[in-house]
A = this chain, B = another copy of it.
């Protein structure tokens, strides 16, 4: 099966869970994680971030996976979808009438109205995009591996400690403790939409809704992401989606992450079509890219899907990524590797 994307939809949003110190490295500090989705898509579309003068980096200065997506799939049409981000990007984006996710330990993550909007409008958007054929759907939401675990657990899946992390040191105990604290407020298992409203975030629901619309209107949805896509796939399935029509593409770094269980999560959800982009940055001249081989970053902003596509096109991905990183370093917007 040929899975060449007509469009890559990048769904952005924030959850206040990412503000918990130590839970997310998708930003140089907890506060900066809320800027990451906006900066990611500004950079992805324009080649430069706009809201701040630096692309998202981890506290160690390792660059955002958006770098890889832009470098290896620059010619693919991108569509930014804002499911609910505290910082709205300064590029065109599809608005789904959602809202930023709140800290689910204190109360529901999303209002019912926001969740309903995201579901209805994400589905309508997916239906239109699906008319084009194959649609990749990626995400940028710091804290997303924690909310993904929370959604899965709230729906009754045993996902405890099985989602990945952008950090080489997956803070699993912290994430589990946070999810457990949130779960005290509810009586799991919950229905899909309830699980999202209580324990989720805007992004995973939007990814599921778009995928649902794509497949309902004759297109082929490819979830371009890691363990978080288990939560999106579970929602897709729970909302009536046909898993035979759903595809997931991710990176080798996710598939090989021993701190998580990507294949196990795909299995318990029932995802049938999984693709791993086997690429290595071990030979890179840049420390910021070699760090990917040590478990930094791993996924995000459709990187796995972009690599899967680029490899299928026979591209020399490391050369492309290095050239793009060089451009950003020269421009002084790539941060500093500590």
Footprint of B on A, CB under 8 Å?
6-7, 45-46, 75-79, 81-82, 90-97, 117, 121-122, 124-125, 127-129, 131-132
Name 10 A/B residue pairs within 8 A (Cβ), A-sorted: A6-B6, A46-B124, A81-B92, A90-B97, A92-B94, A92-B122, A92-B125, A93-B94, A94-B95, A95-B95
Give the complex CA separation of A9 and B217 in angstroms.
18
B93 touches A132 (CB 8 A): no
Contacts of A132 in B (CB 8 A): 6-7, 77, 132
A76 touches B131 (CB 8 A): yes
Closest residue on chain B to residue A129 by CB atoms:
B77
Q: With both chains docked as a complex, state the minimum distance between the C-beta of A6 and any C-beta of chain B, in angstroms.
A: 7
Give the complex CA separation of A84 and B95 in angstroms.
13
Contacts of A45 in B (CB 8 A): 124, 127-128
B128 touches A79 (CB 8 A): yes
B124 touches A91 (CB 8 A): yes
Of A92, A96, A121, A132, most buried by chain B (CB within 10 Å of CB) is A92
Contacts of A7 in B (CB 8 A): 132
Contacts of A75 in B (CB 8 A): 131
Contacts of A127 in B (CB 8 A): 45
Q: With both chains docked as a complex, state the minimum distance between the C-beta of A12 and any C-beta of chain B, in angstroms.
A: 13
Q: With both chains docked as a complex, state the minimum distance between the C-beta of A206 and any C-beta of chain B, in angstroms.
A: 10
Give the complex CA separation of A170 and B132 in angstroms.
39
Q: Assess A77 versus B128: contact at CB under 8 Å? Given A93-B94, A95-B93.
A: yes
Q: With both chains docked as a complex, state the minimum distance between the C-beta of A256 and any C-beta of chain B, in angstroms.
A: 32
Q: Assess A95 versus B92: contact at CB under 8 Å? Given A75-B131, A131-B76.
A: yes
B92 touches A124 (CB 8 A): yes
Q: Assess A131 versus B77: contact at CB under 8 Å? Given A45-B124, A124-B46.
A: yes
Give the complex CA separation of A81 and B125 in angstroms.
12
Closest residue on chain B to residue A42 by CB atoms:
B124
Q: With both chains docked as a complex, state the minimum distance between the C-beta of A42 and any C-beta of chain B, in angstroms.
A: 10
Contacts of A90 in B (CB 8 A): 97, 117, 121
Contacts of A76 in B (CB 8 A): 131
Contacts of A82 in B (CB 8 A): 95
Closest residue on chain B to residue A95 by CB atoms:
B95
A121 contacts which of B79, B91, B117 (Cβ < 8 Å)? Answer: B91
Contacts of A124 in B (CB 8 A): 45-46, 91-92
A78 touches B128 (CB 8 A): yes
Closest residue on chain B to residue A46 by CB atoms:
B124
The 6 closest A-B pairs by CB, nearest first: A92-B125, A92-B121, A77-B131, A77-B128, A95-B95, A92-B94
Q: With both chains docked as a complex, state the minimum distance between the C-beta of A214 and any C-beta of chain B, in angstroms.
A: 11
A96 contacts which of B92, B96, B125 (Cβ < 8 Å)? Answer: B92
Q: With both chains docked as a complex, state the minimum distance between the C-beta of A55 and any C-beta of chain B, in angstroms.
A: 17
